Amino acid sequence: MQRIMFAALLGISGAALAEGGMLQKECSSCHNITGPVAQTLKEAFAKQGPDLSYAGNKYREEWIVSWLQKPVRIRPAGMYYGDHLKAGVKSDEIDTATLKDHAALSKADATKVAHELMELKPHNDLIAKEKIEPGSIIKQMGEMNFDKFWGCMACHLIEPEYGGLSGPEMYTAAKRLQPQFIASFIRNPQAWEPKTWMPNKQVSEGSIQKFVQYLDLLSKESANAK
Ligand code: HEC
Ligand code: HEC
């Protein structure tokens, strides 16, 4: 009995020691760091946090550094929408009491961890396919594209409390994400996350460029609003 417990203890600390690093020890209970990404629905539902195994292809390093020091909610209903609903009077409401705050890191830890995350780049192939064309878009046009033409607003907020709740908020997306990732994810979400709920809408090249420009505009506006 005692020997089994001892082995179990050794197993845990042994693994942590072997992998070293804060990411493995303090983050991998909720985040996939080493890949592969969720391949089955069961794995996708079990996710406790977004997949970070392709973080270097996805995020802007400076955003990770600042967010980890002062984390704010990005997915209004948490990782899985269905877990945080309560029946509202008019429609379903998010039960914010069931959502937990993210742990904050010191500046030194945030900088170190962000640097490690940026080295995780299993999808340079997908990123290399994306060419971002310079240009800008009028806000109303971008919104029409996002809402009426492609139905993205069913799942994404384009302003605090305006839009759908099941996906990550979009008015900070360009601040968080690399433009090539935004283009690639819209083009084919399943190439990144085979079991994501986001549908592949077969968005045309022109509209992908417009989405990148629109999200850029939204992020600039929301930064100015603060
Ligand atoms: C208890 C589970 C849990 C632990 C432990 C945890 N995270 Fe998270 N993390 C989450 C959840 C849930 C989110 C999504 C937050 C949101 O959408 O509002 C998140 C979001 C993030 C994000 C933003 C990515 C994105 O797309 O939203 C980063 C970066 C991140 N975590 C890094 C870390 C690091 C680094 C550690 C370890 C020091 C860590 N996390 C530990 C649950 C966790
Ligand atoms: C049925 C709901 C749904 C629809 C419709 C939808 N999305 Fe998403 N979207 C999601 C979810 C959920 C994620 C998070 C990806 C994941 O982790 O599986 C996401 C992720 C994203 C991301 C990456 C954001 C991040 O922080 O990871 C972008 C960009 C995006 N969506 C844009 C769009 C655009 C543009 C459209 C319309 C063409 C669209 N989405 C339609 C649900 C949706």
Q: Is 61 in the pocket of ligand 1 (CB under 6 A)?
A: no
Is the residue at 13 inside a domain? no
Is the residue at 4 inside a domain? no
Which pTM value belongs to this model? 0.90
Is the residue at 213 inside a domain? yes
CA of 5 to the centre of ligand 2 (A): 44
CA of 180 to the centre of ligand 1 (A): 22
Say what the pLDDT of residue 222 is: 85
Report pLDDT digits (tens) over 28-41.
999 999 999 999 99
CA of 205 to the centre of ligand 1 (A): 32
Q: Which residue has the higher pLDDT, 8 or 124?
A: 124
Say what the pLDDT of residue 82 is: 61
Report pLDDT digits (tens) over 6-29.
444 544 444 444 445 899 999 999
Q: Is 21 in the pocket of ligand 1 (CB under 6 A)?
A: no
Say what the pLDDT of residue 13 is: 43
Is the residue at 28 inside a domain? yes
131-147: average pLDDT: 96
Is the residue at 32 inside a domain? yes
Q: Is 109 in the pocket of ligand 1 (CB under 6 A)?
A: no
155: Cβ contacts below 8 Å, ≥ 6 apart: 163, 164, 165, 166, 167, 197, 198
Say what the pLDDT of residue 17 is: 41
> Ligand 1, atom 34: nearest CA belongs to which residue?
27
Report pLDDT digits (tens) over 198-223.
999 999 999 999 999 999 999 999 88
Is the residue at 105 inside a domain? yes
| Mean per-residue pLDDT of the chain | 88
Is the residue at 3 inside a domain? no
CATH number at residue 118: 1.10.760.10
Say what the pLDDT of residue 77 is: 80
Percentage with pLDDT > 70 across the chain: 84
Q: Which residue has the higher pLDDT, 224 or 42?
A: 42
Q: Which residue has the higher pLDDT, 80 or 187?
A: 187
Q: Which residue has the higher pLDDT, 50 or 77?
A: 50
Percentage with pLDDT > 90 across the chain: 74
Report pLDDT digits (tens) over 81-105.
666 656 555 566 667 667 788 999 9
pLDDT class for 177, splitting at 50, 70, 90?
very high
Q: What is the domain extent for residue 163?
A: 20-225
CA of 25 to the centre of ligand 2 (A): 29
Residue 7 dihedral angles phi and psi, to the nearest 5°: -65, -40
Is the residue at 91 inside a domain? yes
Q: What ligand 2 atom has the least distance to the C-alpha of 51?
A: 17
Q: Is 217 in the pocket of ligand 1 (CB under 6 A)?
A: no
Domain count, the chain: 1
